[in-house]
Amino acid sequence: VLHIRTVRPYITYGLIAVNVIIFMFGFFDPSREIQMFLSGANNRDLVLLDGELYRLFSSMFLHASLPHVVFNMFSLYIIGSNLEAIYGHVRFTIIYLLGGLTGALLSTLLSDVYSVGASGAVFAVFGGQIVFLYRHRKLLGRAGQAQMRQMILIAAMNFAVGLASSLSPQRVSIDNWAHIGGFVGGLILASYIGSHYLLERYHTGAANEFMAVDINP
């Protein structure tokens, strides 16, 4: 029996609420929605030439459509709640926000489109989860290794969908650079600040019970 200390994923729930509230604020007023997009979307010229650096952050909380926000928030709920429970509130928040900013920055440097969405931050959480599963692949056994393969497959499928959208003639496409930047940012951040467990005997003294102790400060 392996015991792992976890926390309630309040930050994940809060981020979902904030994203949904901001989306709904413009959903029922098209003129307000357009104004929010124009004043908050990420764009190379506006960020690098006009110095509107805040767009790297504000774009993470704007979404282009109802399916866009629903898909991102569902992904955040599934993956984020699990990662925050293990990593704790502070480390999860750092990975989400800094990973999201990494995605926004890479999008700014390598793309000239207007970009919005929490996808970069969600992909950072993807990366953080993969690091956790890989680092503890022996500790978690076959179930953990199977989950890691599943996470890698899901991430690869999302990248493939994004690539396909960029090749289509439609006006709106997926920002692949934000996904890649967020994913790599999540991998790097989690490698440094993520949980690193060692086993100790559980306090009951039972021979078959262990506590996973995080040795990463």
* Active-site amino acid positions: 119, 179
**Side-by-side strand order, sheet with 2-4:** 2-4, 210-214, 197-201
Instruction: Tell me which H or E stretch contains 214.
Output: strand 210-214
Q: Where are the beta strands (DSSP E) in 65-191?
A: none
CA distance 55 to 101: 10
C-alpha dist (Å) from residue 96 to 12, 31, 55, 160: 9, 30, 16, 22
Q: Is residue 23 a contact partner of residue 69, using CB atoms and an 8 Å limit?
A: yes
Region of 83 on the Ramachandran plot (φ > 0 left; ψ -120 to 50 alpha; else beta)? alpha
